[in-house]
Structure 1
Amino acid sequence: QQGTVKAFNGQQLPVRNIIASWKPEAEDRLLLFAHWDTRPFADKDMDRKNEPIDGANDGGSGVGVWLEVARHLAEAPPALGIDLIFFDVEDYGQPSGAMGVDQASSDTWCLGSQYWTRNLHVPGYTARYGILLDMVGARDARFYQEAISMRYAPHVVRKVWRTAETLGHGDRFIPEVKLFVGTDDHDVVNRRLRIPSIDIIEYHEGTNGFHPSWHTHDDSMDVIDRTTLQAVGRTVMEVIWKER
């Protein structure tokens, strides 16, 4: 899906959302999503602020997990229809103290998902629920129940966290609510399409928010840990396969 969106600074940006579907004829569907773009400047770094970051965790990790999930889904198709979307231009938001500190700031983020909600790949599209993966690859990451997710889709959050505990990942999926995300792609999907959607995203106690590498040049493969990716991937695959 290609189009054009307007950035916070007035610049017109090309947007390319990548969409794949399993069982497109099925009416009962699940929405799986992440963002594939990375921050074009390192505004949280002390050095080289105007250079783009690698985004191994913030961008790469969610896409990586979903691609591996997709490989397994191709081998053992789920009962429901699946739509996998990698959104573009999520991370081109207005530099500020936090991501989406107010509504005006929030609307400068997640431009790819905003574009998709206005230009659905299937007219009238809806889904049973949605799962967003964002920053899911860091070593020793812990995933708390994110507050926007709990506001719109508490039943989905509880289902995912119970599944993680059953699989032995209760040390990573902590059943406590944390308010630390101002906006993200799931917020757009919830507000605009009323598809109950959750965000699996690391809460870092050291920062009381995102991982310390967020929007810096430290967000490289050095922060990525395969056991974290595996815990998230196994959990969401089990959730998907159990849907009937």
Structure 2
Amino acid sequence: MLRHSRLLSRLRPRSVAPGLSVLLLAGVLAVAGAQSPPVASGTAALAHVATLSQQIGPRPAGSPAYIRATEYVTEQFQRLGYRVEPQAFPFQFFDEPYLPILTVVAPVDLVLHPATMIYSTATPEDGVEAELVDVGLGREEDLRGKRLDGKVAFAGRGQIRFSEKASSAAAAGASAIIIFNNQPGPAQTGTLLTPSRIPVVMIPYGEGLRLGAWLAAGPVRVHLVIRTVTERRSSANVIAVKPGTSSPQEVVVVGAHLDTVPPSPGANDNASGVAAVLEVARLLAEVPTARTIHFVAFGAEELGLIGSSYYVANRTLAVTGMVNLDMVGHGSQVLISNSAGTGSLLDVAERVAGRLALPVRRLRLGSSDHESFERGGVPVVFIHTGDDDVIHTPQDVYARIDPNLLAQAASLAAALIVEIAR
């Protein structure tokens, strides 16, 4: 998932009787005409998470690991009897063959723990060594009238995009920019959307506080080394097709992104969402629907929603609704949202959740593949289970995934798809 604002920390789940949501899902499917309807299995979904995050691991778009992930997802869809259509698209590949090195060389010697931002340019081979300059939040107004002349900019995270901070620093003559996180936890990478003019890294919140304190007391000098690869490649979405019975020219999409950022095994972000989509596909394999359903594993979401944008731009059928599953394996409760926080499809999702006796909270969230569909005029619902401080880091691992949340998210998605595809 693309980085977004933190969710409200006050969110707390209401209690749900174990298994109740999936039992009621069976009733929903039975009404829709299924024979001996299956129920969502958190255990089955968890097995998909294990394969994607443990056996395959980090899955950057265009990488050999991503190709293995598409092969796995394709095989799972085919086992369920679906026709699978890969959809290739071009994109700007990014990789980091070596971890970045960032050290403070004055007033003390200290090794820091940076994360390279996606599409950061590399440093020269021997790195960049220069004085650090505090530029506030790195906004244009923070840098107005400043000439950095080869110095390294030091900016807090927030208010504007990472790319805007990098562009403002580069325009002021900085040789690199260090962004420090605005919340506790490890440094998290994110995308600059396009290749930057200067090297860009993020450091953890605690390390940012230390650097800020030293800067307030006197000069600070740092040394940064980054190795990156950026080149044109192709990646692919994986589309499993369930033909509609009476309105096959109309399509409902349920999808999740399959790719990760380079250092992360991506258990929650987003093996969990892909696992939930596979479970929805299993639940609906024998359920007739009037409209066609596309089950989609999107590529290159982490680079800027590239795969989903390509799908929307190249659609040949009328897409009447989209359900997006991203980060549904860790958190407090099931959340439903879109970029506006309003809309008829969100109302439908709330009613369906009520029939499942599943407590949900409505929020306003973007930063995932549903945004591509919203821009294309398609009603959407984004299913999510809460913010997660370790996404985009090596700590996003299988052991943190809650199978009950997987089952709840898959149950809601399946029942919602039945509702809007009938």
The TM-score normalised by the length of structure 2 is: 0.44
CA-CA distance at 1:71 after TM superposition: 1.2
Q: Distance in 2 between matches of 1:133 and 1:212?
A: 18
CA-CA distance at 1:148 after TM superposition: 0.3
Q: 2:350 aligns with which of 153, 161, 174?
A: 161
**Compared with structure 1, are the counterparts of its residues 178 and 117 closer, same or farther at alpha carbon in structure 2 (3 Å cutoff)?**
closer
Kindly provide the amino acid, as one letter, of the partner of residue 392 in structure 2: H
Q: 2:250 aligns with which of 13, 16, 28?
A: 28
CA-CA distance at 1:150 after TM superposition: 2.5
8 Å CA contact retained: 1:61, 1:136 = yes
Q: Does 1:113 align with 2:296?
A: no
Deviates more, 1:141-150 or 1:69-78: 141-150
Q: Distance in 2 between matches of 1:167 and 1:131?
A: 17
Q: Does 1:174 align with 2:361?
A: yes
CA-CA distance at 1:147 after TM superposition: 4.8
- 1:96-121 residue CA offsets vs partner (Å, 9 max, x unmatched): xxxxxxxxxxxxx111112223333x
Give unmatched runs, 5+ long, in structure 2: 1-86, 94-193, 196-229
- 1:198-229 residue CA offsets vs partner (Å, 9 max, x unmatched): 211233xxxxxx31121111211111111001
CA-CA distance at 1:187 after TM superposition: 0.8
8 Å CA contact retained: 2:340, 2:364 = no
Q: Paired residue for 2:369?
A: 185
Over alpha carbons, which structure has the higher Rg? 2
**Compared with structure 1, are the counterparts of its residues 242 and 188 closer, same or farther at alpha carbon in structure 2 (3 Å cutoff)?**
closer
8 Å CA contact retained: 2:336, 2:346 = yes
Q: Distance in 2 between matches of 1:78 and 1:68?
A: 17
Q: Paired residue for 1:231?
A: 408
> Which residues of 2 match residues 97-112 of structure 1 at below 5 A?
109-112=304-307
Q: Distance in 1 between matches of 2:277 and 2:381?
A: 15
Q: Distance in 1 between matches of 2:400 and 2:241?
A: 31
Going by fraction, where is strand more abundant, 1 or 2? 2
Q: Distance in 2 between matches of 1:29 and 1:111?
A: 20
SS of 1:135's equivalent? coil
Q: 2:293 aligns with which of 68, 79, 82?
A: 82
CA-CA distance at 1:178 after TM superposition: 4.0
Give unmatched runs, 5+ long, in structure 1: 41-51, 93-108, 204-209
Q: Paired residue for 1:62?
A: 273
Q: How many residues align?
A: 199
**What is the percentage of aligned positions where both structures have the same residue?**
28
Q: Paired residue for 1:96?
A: none
8 Å CA contact retained: 1:58, 1:214 = yes
Q: Distance in 2 between matches of 1:18 and 1:221?
A: 23
Q: Distance in 1 between matches of 2:419 and 2:380?
A: 17
8 Å CA contact retained: 2:334, 2:405 = no
8 Å CA contact retained: 1:78, 1:240 = no
Q: 1:17 aligns with which of 215, 228, 237?
A: 237
8 Å CA contact retained: 2:339, 2:364 = no
Q: Does 1:131 align with 2:340?
A: no
SS of 2:389's equivalent? coil
Q: Distance in 1 between matches of 2:300 and 2:361?
A: 30
8 Å CA contact retained: 1:32, 1:132 = yes
Q: Distance in 1 between matches of 2:270 and 2:276?
A: 11
- 1:76-130 residue CA offsets vs partner (Å, 9 max, x unmatched): 23332101111101113xxxxxxxxxxxxxxxx111112223333xx2x322211
- 1:24-77 residue CA offsets vs partner (Å, 9 max, x unmatched): 67123211111011111xxxxxxxxxxx21101112011101111111211223
SS of 2:319's equivalent? coil
8 Å CA contact retained: 2:334, 2:383 = yes
SS of 1:21's equivalent? strand
Kindly provide the amino acid, as one letter, of the partner of residue 339 in structure 2: I
